[in-house]
Amino acid sequence: MGALACFLAVSYGVAALGALASTDAGAVYGSLDRPAWAPPAWLFGPVWTVLYATIGIAAWLVWRHPDRDRVRTALIWWSIQLLLNLAWTPLFFAARQYGLALLDIVLLLTALSTTIVRFRRLSRPAALLLVPYLVWVAFATALNASIWQLNI
């Protein structure tokens, strides 16, 4: 259970750092020209709260697998995608670099897809826990691209 708590702490630590970098995220988001299909600002917090839990639990499930070499590789990919996740918020909200944020989130999609493939080899439930995250990030990628285009 200690390892689960650590993985959850890392996941929610990324969330907390992102929140620190986006203290005015609601105001920034509200000031942007957005596509008609953009969700309301209040939706992001609850969605990310659930997703960060699934991210941590998935890593814990993989960590429990006995093949330490494959676990290490899978968790390296998990760490890469989490770092890219962390980088997106300050790029988008604090720096307002929508094009760089788009590049980051495309790299995040790639790293997350690789993470899911690596996790699937070790734990099907872990891989499945990351699928809603992948769908949300794909949606966020389209939203980021649209916002960048509308606010150039």
Query: Per-domain residue ranges for the chain?
Result: 2-150
pTM listed for this prediction:
0.94
**Residue 57 corresponds to which tokens in the numbers above?**
């639990």
User: Check: CATH 1.20.1260.100 for 2-150?
Assistant: yes
Instruction: State the pLDDT confidence band at 100, using cuts at 50, 70 and 90.
Output: very high
Write out the E strands in the chain. none
Rounded to 10°, the helix 68-89/44-63 angle is 160
- Report the pLDDT value the prediction gives residue 95, as an integer from 0 to 100: 93
Residue 121 has pLDDT above 80, yes or no: yes
H helices, E strands: number in the chain = 6, 0
